[in-house]
Structure 1
Amino acid sequence: MSQGFVSQLAELSSERSSQVMSWRFILNFSLMVFDAVVYIGVSLFFFLAMFKNVHPYAERFDFPFPMPVYVIVCALIWIISTRVAGVYHRHMLGDGYQLGMALFKGAFMAWLFICAFDFIFKIDIPMRLIVYVIAVSWLVTLIARCVVSAFLNRERKRGLYMYPTVLVGSPEGIGQVLTFLRKRGQFNYRPVAVCPIMVDRKSGEIISDPDYDLMRKEIKKHGGASLPIMRYDEHLAERISRMGGQTVMVTDVLERFSDNLNTFSLRMESLNLEMALITSAVDIAGHVTQMRNLRGVTIMTIQLPQYSLFARFKKRLFDIVVSSLALIVSSPVMLGVALAIKLEDGGPVFYKQERIGLRGKPFYIHKFRSMRVNADAYLKELLEEQGQEMGARYKLKQDPRITKVGNFIRKTSLDELPQFIDSFLGSMSVVGPRPQRQFEVDEYDSVYATRLLVKPGITGPWQVSGRNDLNEEESRQLDVTYVQDWSVLGDIVYILRTVGIMIHPMGAY
């Protein structure tokens, strides 16, 4: 690579880096000002339109609290709360559901702090007023974020407003991450160079991978045609910094908690470069860790808090409440679906099948029948006709066994409604990995088998992320990640996303 080309690349990357950093600061500052203005405007509207006789007064200290001052203080509490909740994080705009929940968390925190502020100063403000202002501010802020997100997504397709990133790892690992980043633009990482590395078998240290031909093939294969290749050495951080890189993404080779990674990250972060790691779905980063020193030996203990007795009790209670409400609300729909199935071919309304549940225990799942009677007997024959085998990932996009009514209830997920009975009784959960059959479970490896550590769910990560359109690796990653990260609040998000999928089906066949 010529010195002139390197200089041009460094100049271009530095310019892009400066532009992105300036844009990031301006965007966050503008959003904070906008959010404050929204809260102040909504507060003034309710004060002047519906609560004209309410005048803030600090009775505890016996002095009047001017309404404009009170509103500004509450607006500052609103901004601080939403910031603590992560609303202004740079990745948050890329995921509407996470943004909505972060805003909800921030709004709840703001409500608590404003109530505490009113209590400390003994300001007599109606609770209705506080709730109205926060609710409307939450809604307006969410709508505004959706508009900003749409604008950024459009601009990022043109390669703008993204973070210059250098990928470090094996050629194969780098290639896979190039595809990953191309599909997931919400992460905002724009690869500007790659650095292939390998482990020296004799010393155990990280060295440069000299197989540049393989690296170029992987780059071309995964859509990064013109990416330059950087050589790994102790001055890599300086060269990345000079070329304007902002993030160093480690794809593989450098193992978590190893001296190699610790040394590498220290060199990068000492120059204010962000470190990003592509980790396994069963990485322990989400665990609660505790460090103890016993007679000069440091011991780290880890624990997943969602598997405590109290957390599991909350999830079971959540399942009972949600299942009960769902059965009550959906009973008219279920009656209509049952009648339509019966009128179409006179066969049974419900369909049950053995699935594998918590810790490998079999149970029977119940659905509205969407296929003709005795459909299972024809499955193997149909798969052979389409050149497929019985296994965990067979797909039949045009399955002749599906009835007309069945086609509709599948696309709208109405066939899943009877599973709320299974959830209420305890063999399933409202949210969890999809239940699978024994021959599918028989194909699990040790990592994927961890999905059996939680109850299967009516809805979950697979159902709201593309369903049958996902490849095997993506499906497994979603399921295993849920096992490690689930929470009741997260389950609520999946339920809300399921409603959206029912309105706009994707991957359902």
Structure 2
Amino acid sequence: MTQLHSALGSVVATKGIAAAHQPLSTSGTAWRRRYRLSLLATDSVLILGILLLTVNLLTLEASVARIADVLGLGGAIAAGWICAMSVFRTRDPRLIGTGAGEYKRVVRASIATFAVAAVLVVLLNLDHFRGLLVLALPSGTLLLLSSRWMWRQWLLRQSRLGHYLSKVVVVGRPADVRYVTAQLAKKSGAAYAVVGAVYEGKTNPAALRTGDRLVPVVSGLRKIEDFVAHTGADAVIVAGHLRKGSSYIRELGWRLEGSSTELVLASALTNVAGPRITMRPVEGLPLMHVELPQFTGGRHLMKRALDVAVSAAALLVLAPLFLALTIAIRRDTPGKAFFVQERAGKDSAVFRMFKFRSMVTTAEDELELLKEQNQGNGVLFKLREDPRVTRVGAVIRKYSLDELPQFWNVLRGDMSLVGPRPPLFSEVSGYEEHTRRRLLIKPGLTGLWQVSGRSDLDWEESVRLDLYYVENWSVTGDLIIMWRTFKVMLKPVGAY
């Protein structure tokens, strides 16, 4: 206990920490319960509202009997829809504030509701109720998704103030604890706030920095529950493998039961997303099945259909902007408006990638003179103040407008809307074996790399994001990345 009090005291006494520290919510369990009730109330009001509005539109000139019938069916659909939102666990605390899982479940609950309603309409020959389904399903689903997005934005704003966060203690070997803590600080959104760490083994613990805060650290696994009580944590995250093995983790779960503290295991399968993992207990032995990545098949046909539809529409809508940028580039400096470069596509296939020219025409020749000043991640050459960039080029690079001609590459089939960053062949020649997995699918106009920091990322993080996408992509995930790309274009990060 002396070590525990000294660790806590060292953090409080550290210079500058009081100014950086944000007050944290008192109970993760309490705020999650209130938040879920708020979601339930919002979902119910929106479902009832959209169905009442639809009924009114369909019965403007109907008889009293017809109005009563439609109201009855509308009420039944509303009740079933609200129940489906619970059955599909759209308000699962594990999904709050992060990832696409919450949105997927809302869509699935809505589709299931109207699938059942459509079957009843057909079986009971209620043809005059089809309009209710056609109008209510898309509009209601869109409203529910919009409300969840707005609630999430509110939750993110609260999390930045230190409210509505699940306070956690991270346990494990020092390297594993530091990695998990860093990832939670960068990526968890409105989810976790690390309030302490416990190192396995005999080490000399020091305060651990997470974001703009320092948290106390102790060594040894004997008194974790006391440390949890002192920090007020709602959950304990076990990072990686512990030397004491699975029996210790089971006993730790028992010891934490009295304080209602959750136990979370950080999987060593860091590049495997949830949908690819299925738990199957066999005689008390939990087996984790990991689905193999799919690089062909029906989902890829859907991806290609989305690519064609969106890229064709974008080229038509953006034609005036293309013309304006072409004129601006050619007036700014002499030379062609477009820059064409060979890149490596799927399976290392060569393709010509198009961009608006943002540099002087002699940029390639001047590259060797600037390589010593490289501010990129060691593999990619980047300069924050690159002298080769033109005046117009600086603007279009900042807002990623130079990438727009790649919609033509997407339409041709060289690229996809979302995917890994299209590499140069000089980069591919230096790839390690695992890095070549980036070439298993088409490169993308945008991707996780673009919405996660772009040029500010180091090489290892860029590769990790690309490999994660290659093995875990989904159509829903692509739509979310495209939406995040639009936001990044308005508020650029790492674009230079």
1:267 maps to which residue?
251
Query: CA offsets, 1:131-166, max 9 Å, x none?
Result: 433444445444544453344334333433322322
1:419 maps to which residue?
406
Pair 1:83–1:400, CA change in 2 (3 A) = farther
Q: Which of 333, 339, 343 lines up with 1:351 in the alignment?
A: 339
Pairs within 5 Å for 1:17-416: 19-48=27-56, 51-53=59-61, 69-83=72-86, 87-90=90-93, 92-95=95-98, 100=103, 102-186=105-189, 188-197=191-200, 209-211=201-203, 213=204, 215-216=205-206, 219=208, 225-229=214-218, 231-233=220-222, 245-254=233-242, 262-270=246-254, 271=257, 273-283=262-272, 286-287=275-276, 303-304=291-292, 306-384=294-372, 386=373, 391-416=378-403
Tell me if the contact between 2:376 and 2:455 (Cα under 8 Å) persists in the aligned partners. no
SS in 2 for 1:315: helix
Q: In 1, Cα distance between the equivalents of 2:417 and 2:161?
A: 40
Pairs within 5 Å for 1:498-509: 498-509=485-496
Pair 1:442–1:5, CA change in 2 (3 A) = same
Q: CA deviation at 1:348?
A: 1.5
2:464 maps to which residue?
477
Tell me if the contact between 2:451 and 2:484 (Cα under 8 Å) persists in the aligned partners. yes
Q: Which one-letter code corresponds to 1:24 in the other structure?
A: R
Q: In 2, Cα distance between the equivalents of 1:401 and 1:317?
A: 38
Q: Which one-letter code corresponds to 2:326 in the other structure?
A: A
SS in 2 for 1:275: strand
Q: CA deviation at 1:226?
A: 4.5
Q: In 1, Cα distance between the equivalents of 2:71 and 2:253?
A: 44
Pair 1:290–1:230, CA change in 2 (3 A) = closer
Tell me if the contact between 2:55 and 2:71 (Cα under 8 Å) persists in the aligned partners. no
Tell me if the contact between 2:340 and 2:352 (Cα under 8 Å) persists in the aligned partners. yes
Pair 1:191–1:412, CA change in 2 (3 A) = closer
Moved more, 145-154 or 338-347: 145-154
Q: CA deviation at 1:305?
A: 5.6
SS in 2 for 1:333: helix
Tell me if the contact between 2:379 and 2:427 (Cα under 8 Å) persists in the aligned partners. yes
Tell me if the contact between 2:96 and 2:191 (Cα under 8 Å) persists in the aligned partners. no
Unaligned runs of 5+ in 1: 10-15, 59-63, 198-208
SS in 2 for 1:186: coil
Q: In 2, Cα distance between the equivalents of 1:290 and 1:152?
A: 30
Q: In 2, Cα distance between the equivalents of 1:120 and 1:165?
A: 52
Q: CA deviation at 1:123?
A: 3.7
SS in 1 for 2:422: coil
Query: CA offsets, 1:341-367, max 9 Å, x none?
Result: 233334122211122222333332121
Query: CA offsets, 1:227-286, max 9 Å, x none?
Result: 2526225x857985898644221223349xxxx654344334454733231544434865
Pair 1:55–1:185, CA change in 2 (3 A) = farther
Query: CA offsets, 1:81-110, max 9 Å, x none?
Result: 434555313354424866555544443333
Q: In 1, Cα distance between the equivalents of 2:470 and 2:406?
A: 20
Q: Which one-letter code corresponds to 2:182 in the other structure?
A: T
Unaligned runs of 5+ in 2: 10-23
2:435 maps to which residue?
448
> How much is the aligned-residue C-alpha RMSD, in angstroms?
4.0
Q: In 2, Cα distance between the equivalents of 1:390 and 1:163?
A: 34
Q: Which one-letter code corresponds to 1:341 in the other structure?
A: I
Tell me if the contact between 2:121 and 2:129 (Cα under 8 Å) persists in the aligned partners. no
Tell me if the contact between 1:342 and 1:349 (Cα under 8 Å) persists in the aligned partners. yes
Pair 1:72–1:221, CA change in 2 (3 A) = closer
Count of residues in correspondence between the two structures: 473
Tell me if the contact between 2:169 and 2:235 (Cα under 8 Å) persists in the aligned partners. yes
Q: In 1, Cα distance between the equivalents of 2:108 and 2:161?
A: 33
Taking structure 1 as the reference length, the TM-score comes to 0.78
Taking structure 2 as the reference length, the TM-score comes to 0.80
Q: CA deviation at 1:459?
A: 1.3
Q: Percent identity?
A: 30
Q: In 2, Cα distance between the equivalents of 1:106 and 1:347?
A: 55
Q: CA deviation at 1:502?
A: 3.2
Q: CA deviation at 1:484?
A: 0.9
Tell me if the contact between 1:46 and 1:133 (Cα under 8 Å) persists in the aligned partners. yes
Pair 1:102–1:285, CA change in 2 (3 A) = closer
